[in-house]
Each structure stands twice: as structure tokens, then as C-alpha cells.
Amino acid sequence: MPAEVLTKTPLPGIQTQWSRLVTAESSDGPHAFHVLDTGPALQAQGITPTGTILAVHGNPTWSYLWRAVLEASVRVATPHNAWRVIAPDQLDMGFSDRLAHPEPPGPGAASYRRFGQRLDDLDGLAEALELDVDRPVVTLGHDWGGIISLAWATRHRNMVDAVVTLNTAVDHPSGDPVPAALQAAMAPGLLPSSTVLTNAFLRVTLGLADGGLAPEVAAAYRAPYVSRNGRGGIGGFVADIPASAHHASRAVLDESAAALREWDKPALLMWGPKDPVFRDQYLHDLLDRLPQADLHRFEGAGHLVAEDRDIAKVLFTWLSDTFTSAAATTAVSPPPADEISGLHDQLDQMALSWRRDSASVVQLADDQTTEVSWAELKSQVDSLASGFYELGMRHGDRVSLLVQPGNQLTAILYACLRLGAVAVVADAGLGLKGMTRAVRSAWPDWVIGEKTGLLVASTLGWPGKRISVNALSPRLVRLTGAQASVERLLRRGTSTTLETVPIPDPESAAAILFTSGSTGPAKGVVYTHRRLGALVALLRQTFAVSPGSSLIAGFAPFALLGPAIGATSVTPDMTVTKPATLTAEAVAEAAAAGDATMFFGSPAALSNVVATSGELSADQAEALQRIRLVLSAGAPVHPELLDKVQQLFPQAQLHTPYGMTEGLLQTDITRQQIHTAMETDQLGVCVGTAVEGVEFAVAPLNSLGRPAEALRDPDSAPGVLSEIVVSAAHLKAGYDRLWLTDRESRRDRHRGLLWHRTGDIGHFDPSGRLWVQGRLQHVMTTPAGPLGPGAVETRVDAIEEVARSAAVGVGPAGTQAVVVIIEPSPGKNLTVGSSPLALPELSRRVRDASVDAPVSAVLVVDSLPTDIRHNSKIDRTALASWANRILAGEKVPAP
């Protein structure tokens, strides 16, 4: 391809100084390769590269795919950390030499480039480009360039120091059908017309970009392929897909895939899960071959992940950590609040104690009460653990649990924990789409579920071998693919096999708990046995939840920890994944059935308990009076609601701790302490002071709402709006398969401790109390400075006609106007006609209440949109978009 074509073609994002033609020898003689290379640009800056990245594109793209990586190579380069990026156009692709094609490409054609020849091409290029092998060499690939780059790396283990790949496949069982997206293009009769004679294959591939490509970018991708001659390599690449056992390139593929299992050097996988070709099964095959690999999944991204997301940030951060960072200073977590014991220790002790015949778990459902004693629970756990082991479940296996909280889930969970299997918990509150995304992210080895859950899993193609909770009919066994049932495993009892299975190591992963997804795609939070044990110790210390206690669990995490504490867990008659279904009657019946003295529930659950309290009988009201502790977690609770809860539970102390999925308990405060704190007139919601074993730091926000890199101690910045940062022994061990997210959340080494950046914003007052104002992404950047939504909402919510409110920023960052959106109290009409504008008198009262935040507009909706899981986390992002359009004069329905 003449060099002048490149200079005449508009290629946004490409600097002409990167581009050159290189003649390299291959197995069939010399060829001219077009190469994008940042080496000369770095040399012009007087920078010697730290190492070299050899980036290999796939089909039907070309080296243009790597322009963001090339640009970042120059932009982020420093004398001590700089990476030369070399991105060649593969032969017959991009602006490299074209081959003769006397016959249409197809499985039997001889004129297309084969897998082995492309490896020879890279050999020649490496020699012609004189790669500096005295410094690190890293391969980077995508699509078929992924397997080509990985195969080349395994052939040159003495030269290549790390591998990085985007969506690709290194193995495809010859008996399996190829992905549907490729079947039409690979059909012998259609291959030439879809790939060479027309640009259909190219057009469809470019259409896979999330949100579509900008016209000028799409045109740049098409530039080398405007003619039939230019597209010969596209057809040749498709013809060389070794899907069958007899394909000419199959032997090289098999050899390369096997060699990858021997790769013991660093590896990074970056993945777009929405890829219709390289689906998650190929990712997990890669993880099986490269167990040491770091993985970052870009949720929402697809095949063209380099176009969809900022892969350069992940890549260069990983390279810096892997090759150029100084040795990290030793950092630790604070000591736990109390002595940590194994998650099974207390269960074992209770089963042998004088309480062995008393209830361990009590479940109320459909007007029935089911109890399991400590001795029975221990027997069930051992029976299931031995049964699961005989089915093939092993230490480290991931087990997705599609079982409602209660007696059965408790036994199943502790059986998995006994084997060292990792429980994957993505509850129905995420919705079907969210659950599917979460489960495919975790990619479980096993799925244990009730009939409905297993049918959904089978219909949607979720991975994992199936175990049903109840024995199924032959027809349902076929439909669900269930290999066994919990019911039948319990009948078999415990085998001696369990005695040979070692107790899991404290640092082994125990569970992956998915976040609510209320502020973005749900993330998998990894907990080890030690960290869950530290949480149990904290609950014992903070709330005196001791062996023999009995608690009503309207908040699932605490129900599942009951056996580890030795406390009876009572599951009330409700849909646990829908907290607002809990009634006062259900709580009272649970209290009576389990002799409970504690009640754990979410704010939405408490709200409905109060709303339904008028239906209580005298006996039920008396049962609530025996409750001594009410704990609500998941979101802040308004003081007025707490006062009403106190009337229902007159003997109870009310606590509203602050925490998150990444650390379920961080601060604590009582109802009385909240009222005392409110007298200080601080902004936000007071969530109390740190519990035992928890340390806090702050990252102050700048005028654009961005947190500082350097952390400060809270007492050095009283009243300063900041991101809240926490350290504790019971925090998460990490985020699952989100390498950069995990790194960013705990990148700090303040005071020699490991920290977690929570994403929550607030401030500490001079008394050391934490006041939360919302989430970092919801900060309003006004001309007067950053402001959290809680600074406005807490005071607006106190207005009688207001059920709930949301404060959002509208306009450019740094000059945003504050808009308050109100959900009216039942029976209240607060708008002017059919307009969403609030009545003038209400608007005045809202502005008077928000003295610290000049409110520009007050709008009203029938109901504020919330997340499914908590029924309490307001979707402020959707509301901000709606408010912006309303104030611009559009007529759009409320979200």
C-alpha cells in the first residue's frame, strides 16, 4: 500500500510521526509492513523507554485500534516510566502489503495467510524493528490478534516478559458450534460475498461499538478496505478460523493453547462482556490457563472494548505496578474488635452444648413455622458438605446461591464454606438483567437453587453445574439440568469423606457479595474467611450478639452470620429481597416464634413496619415489647421514622449503623444520639462515631467535587466535605475481576494502614461524628463550592407535606444550580396544574429550609425512583437528567 495513501486519509487520533513502513522477512520472503511506533516520539523527548509493547490487532481492524494506547504512551511518559508502543498492521491488513488472491478465500483455499505464517511475520518484524530485549517486552492483542500475540509470546518466553489481551479465544472445542455472529460469515458460500466482495463483515464489526463510532472514526477504520483488493485479508482471516479439528491451522492453535498453561509470567486480561463472538466462556478458559492473570471486566463494553472504554489507563497503571513501581510499603488493617474464630467453630460448639436441641434457625412462611436445632443444623451442614464433595465440588469452586434466606440457605451456605467453596450471592433485588450480569461476571462452577431460580438459570444460559434444593420430577431435571438435589443429599447423611477435607485457610475466599448496583453495575465484593470472622467478632463486640441470642433478620447478611455467632436467626414472613414487604404483624409473629430480643431491618422495612402497625393485636404488640435492640442498616434513617419505631419497640435501643457491602459496619449511633447531634445544625445525616477496630481518613473535595489524592486524618479537617475513607479488619479483601476498580479503591497507604475509598461523601464534626451527605457521583458543584445532596434533603424531608426529596445539580460543573425534587406525602397535591413545578408556597418553604444551598427550582414527582434492593437509594442520576430537560422546556415523563 503506497505510503501517500496514509498521509492523504483523515485518521483522527493518529500522529503522522508514528507512521512508517518497515520491510521484514517472513517465511515466504520480504514484505512491507505499515507500523505505528511511538519510539521516535519518545526519543525526541530524550526519554529511554522502560520497555516495549507489541500491539497486534485482529480482524477486520488495523493498528488504528491502538491509537489511544499510542497516545497515552507519549502523554504519560516520564524519564522513569515510559513505554514504546509498536502496532503493526498485519500482512494483507491495514496499510501493509497485500497478497495475491487468485481464488476466493475459503476453508480449502491456499492463498490466505495462515496462523503459523502470522507468527513468522511477527518474528521478522521483531528483528527488523530491533526490539530492545534487555528491557521488558509485553505483547498486547485483540480478537485474533489476541491469540496470535499470546502464541508468539509463548514461543519467545526468553524475550517476552508479560502478556496482555483484550477479547479473544485461545481454544474452541472442535465439536462445538462457532458463535452465531460468525456462522454466516464462515459459511463457504457466503464467506467471499460477506467479507471481500462487500464490506458487510467490516460494517457489522464496526457496528458493535458501544453507542456507535463517530463517523470520522468509522471512516478511518474503513480507509484501508475501500476496495475488493483491500479486503482480501478480511476474508482470509475469517477463512483461517480453525473451528474444525481438520483445519490447516488447528495444530498451531492447539499447540499455542497448551503452551499457555505453562506461562508463569505476569498477565492482564481486559474484557468487554457484551461481545457476541468472544463470549465469557472464552474468558474463563483463559483464566483457567492463566490463573495468575489480573482481570478487569468493563461492564457494558463489547467486542470493540478499546473503543468502548479507556483501556490505556488500565494498561499503563498495570505496567507501572508490574515493572516500574518501587517496593510498596508494608500496610496492614487495624486489629479486629474481638477475637476471630472460624465461621464453623461456634456452630460446632453449639451442636455439642446444652443448647444443642434449641433452635438455631427459625423460618416463618405461608402461615407455617419451621425450626432447625443446632444439632440438626450441624448434621445438615456435614451431610451437604460431604454430598457436595462427592459430586465434585472443591476448594475454590464458585457456587451461585439462588435460594431465599432461611433454613435451607443457611445449611447450604455453611456446607459450601466448610469445603472452602466460594458462595456467590447476587440477590433478586438486582433484577433479572442485573443478576445475569453479576452471575456471568463471577462465572460460578455450581448453581444451587430452587426450581424457579434453576429454570431462569437454564433459560438465560448461566454457567455452572446445577443442584436443586428440592427433588425434581424427571421433566424438571431435564429442563434445569440438575445433577442432584439438596433434599436427597440430606437423606443420605454424612460420609467419612468429609474427614479428609481440610478446614479452609483463613485467607481463602469465602464469599462474593454483589453490591446493590444503585450507582452503576453491581460489583462483586470478595470476603475471606478471616474477614467474615472479623465481622462476626465486631457484631459480638458492638451489639452484644452472643451465643444464645435470638435475632429477627429482616436484613439478609445478618441472618447468614447467625450460626457463626451462635445466635438463633429468625426469618420473618416476607420477601427478603423486597424489604418493603415486611409488616409489623410479621415481625411480631417472628419475635414470638423465636423468643427474639433483636430485630435487624433496612430503612424501607422499618417504614412499612410502622405503616402497618395499626393492624397489631394486643399479643403481637406485647411480643414487640420484648425486643431490646433494633438495628437498621443499608441507608440513613430519618429521625422522625426512628421516633415512630421507638413507639412500637418501647423497650428497645435503636441503632442505625453506617456501612456498605464492602464493610457492613463502620460507625454506630443511637436514636437519642441522633437527636443530640441534630442540635449542632450540621449538614447531612449523622451516622455516629467509629466502632471498635475501625479507622477513618478523609480525601477533601476540590471545587469540581474531586477528592484529593493525599489522605488526611478527620480531626485535621473538621467540617470539610470529603470522600470518606476507611480501614478495618472486616473490610472486603477486594473486588472480583475488576482489577483497576479494586486498585483505585485501596491505593492509599496512610498511617501504614490499608484503606478503602468508599465513594461516600461527608464530613466529621469536632466531636468526631461522621455526617454523610451522599455519593461522590451525586456531588453538586455550585459556584459556592461542592455540596452533597444530603445537605439539602435532610432539612427538606422535615417539611410535613414532603415524603422524600432528592437534590440534584443541573448545569456545567462548577456552576451548577441546585434543583430539589419532591415526592409528596400521601394525599398531598403539591404542583401547579399538570406541571411538575411545585406550588409557590412549598417552593418558598424548601428554599427557607435550604439556607446553606441556594435552590434554583423545586419540582414534584409522584414517586422518586429507587433501587430494587433497598427500596431506599434514590436514583439521582436519572432525576438530574429529567430535571435538566424539564427546565429546558421539554415535556418528558418523570423517571
The segment(s) of the chain belonging to CATH 3.40.50.980 are 544-656
Secondary structure string (H, E, C) spanning 384-406: HHHHHHHHCCCCCCEEEEECCCC
Give residue 584's pLDDT.
94
**Residue 574 burial (C-beta neighbours within 10 Å; 0-12, 13-18, 19+):** buried
**365, 406 in Cβ contact below 8 A?**
yes
For cell 472494548, name the residue: 305
* 3-class SS letters over 437-484: HHHHHHCCCEEEECHHHHHHHHHCCCCCEEEECCCCCHHHHHHHCEEE
Q: Is the pLDDT of residue 577 over 80?
A: no
Fold of 781-895: GMP Synthetase; Chain A, domain 3 (3.30.300)
Are 287 and 261 contacting, i.e. CB atoms less than 8 angstroms apart? no
For cell 467419612, name the residue. Answer: 496
**Spatial CA neighbour of 3 closest among 129, 84, 101, 97:** 97
C-alpha cell, 222: 474503513
Name which of 222-231, 532-541, 598-607, 800-809 the model is least confident about: 598-607
Query: What is the rounded CA–CA span in Å between residue 318 and residue 69?
Result: 13
Stated as kind and residue range, the H or E segment containing 148 is helix 144-155
Region 268-292 average pLDDT: 95
Element containing residue 68 per DSSP (H, E): helix 67-75
Q: Is the pLDDT of residue 691 over 70?
A: yes
Lowest mean pLDDT among 101-115, 133-147, 303-317: 101-115
Average pLDDT of the residues of the chain = 91
C-alpha cell at 770: 461522621
**Per-residue pLDDT for 797 more than 80?**
yes
> Taking a C-beta distance cutoff of 8 angstroms, is the pair 721, 739 a contact?
no
Greatest mean pLDDT among 180-184, 286-290, 579-583, 746-750 lies in: 286-290
User: Which part of the chain has CATH 3.40.50.1820?
Assistant: 3-99+113-324
Residue 71: pLDDT over 80:
yes
Q: pLDDT digits over 713-748, tens only?
A: 999 999 999 999 999 999 999 999 999 999 999 889
Instruction: Please report the pLDDT score of residue 176 as a whole number.
Output: 75
User: Three-state secondary structure along 823-839?
Assistant: EECCCCCCECCCCCEEC
Taking the C-alpha atoms of residue 229 and residue 5, their distance in angstroms, rounded to an integer, is 15
Cα separation, 416 vs 288, in Å, equals 21
CA atoms lying within 13 Å on the CB side of residue 605: 29
The pairing of strands 658-660 and 663-668 is antiparallel
Helix or strand (DSSP H, E) at 369:
strand 368-373
Mean pLDDT of 684-704: 96
In the 8-state DSSP scheme, what is residue 874?
A: B
Average pLDDT over residues 688-694: 96
Distance in angstroms (rounded) separating the CA atoms of residues 460 and 453: 11
pLDDT at site 106: 58
Name the least confident of 101-105, 199-203, 524-528, 862-866. Answer: 101-105
The predicted pLDDT at position 328 comes to 54
Convert the pLDDT of each residue in 836-879 to its tens digit. 999 999 999 999 988 778 899 999 999 998 764 444 578 899 99
> CA 305, CA 165: separation in Å to the nearest integer?
11
Within 10 Å of residue 9's Cβ, how many Cβ atoms? 15
Mean pLDDT along residues 704-714: 96
**Are 556 and 514 within 8 A, CB to CB?**
no
What is the three-class DSSP state of 150?
A: helix
Phi, psi of 416 (to 5 degrees): -65, -45
- CA 473 and chain centroid, separation: 36
Q: What is the pLDDT of residues 323-370, one digit of tens each?
A: 976 545 578 999 999 999 999 999 999 999 999 999 999 999 888 999
Query: CA 568 to CA 551: how far, in whole Å?
Result: 6
What are the residue ranges of CATH 3.30.300.30 in the chain? 781-895
Query: What are the beta bridge partners of residue 23?
Result: 32
- Total residues belonging to the chain: 895
CA trace torsion 743, 749, 752, 758 (10° rounding): -70
CATH number of 3-99+113-324: 3.90.1150.10, 3.30.70.590, 3.40.50.1820, 3.30.390.50? 3.40.50.1820
Q: Which fold has domain 544-656?
A: Rossmann fold (3.40.50)
Q: Please, which residues bridge with residue 726 across strands?
A: 696, 756
Amino acid occupying residue 867: D
The reported pLDDT for the residue numbered 104 is 65
**Measured between alpha carbons, how far is 499 from 494 in angstroms, rounded to an integer?**
10
Q: Which helix (H) or strand (E) holds 267?
A: strand 267-271
Confidence at residue 109, expressed as pLDDT on a 0 to 100 scale: 55
Q: Would you say 701 and 791 are in contact if contact means Cβ atoms under 8 Å apart?
A: no
817-824 β-sheet, strand order: 802-810, 817-824, 855-860
Pairwise CA distance, residues 171 & 667, whole Å: 49
In this model, does residue 6 exceed pLDDT 70?
no
Alpha-carbon distance of 231 to 92, in angstroms, equals 8
Give the three-state DSSP class for 816: coil
Residue 329 has a pLDDT of 58
- pLDDT score for 105: 65
List the one residue out of 479, 487, 475 whose CA is nearest residue 456: 479
pLDDT at 111: 66
Give percent of the chain with pLDDT exceeding 90: 76
- pLDDT tens, position by position, 612-664: 999 899 999 999 999 999 998 877 777 888 999 999 999 999 999 999 999 98
For residue 1, the model assigns a pLDDT of 39
- Report cis status (omega within 30 of 0) of the bond before 563: no
pLDDT at 107 exceeding the cut of 80 = no
Q: What is the pLDDT of residues 594-624, one digit of tens each?
A: 999 999 988 888 989 999 999 899 999 999 9
Amino acid 870: pLDDT: 45
Q: What is the mean pLDDT of residues 191-220?
A: 93
CB 68 within 8 A of CB 246: no
- Residues 204 and 780: their CA atoms lie apart, in Å, by 40
Q: Which residues contact 577 (CB under 8 A, 6 or more apart)?
A: 427, 428, 429, 556, 868, 869
All three cell numbers of 213? 463510532
Give yes or no for a contact between 225 and 205, defined as CB atoms under 8 angstroms apart: no
pLDDT of 765 > 80? The answer is: yes
Query: pLDDT, tens digit, for every residue of 389-421?
Result: 999 999 999 999 999 888 999 999 999 999 999
pLDDT tens-digit readout, 16-43: 899 999 999 999 999 999 999 999 999 9
- The whole-number pLDDT of residue 872 equals 55
**Which cell is 83 given?**
513505554
Q: What is the mean pLDDT of residues 533-543?
A: 94
CB 648 within 8 A of CB 624: yes
Residues 6+ apart with CB under 8 A from 803: 822, 823, 824, 825, 826
Q: Return the ∠ at Cα 536 (arms to 530 and 537), rounded to 5°.
A: 90
- SS3 assignment, position 678: helix
CA dist., res. 652 & res. 838, Å (int): 39
Which three three-digit cell numbers place residue 306? 478499546
The stretch 749-762 carries a mean pLDDT of: 94
Identify any residues that bridge with 709 across adjacent strands, giving them in sequence order: none
Q: What is the pLDDT of residue 636?
A: 74
Report the range of poorest mean pLDDT among 189-203, 570-584, 669-683. Answer: 570-584
Q: Are 229 and 98 in contact (CB under 8 A)?
A: yes
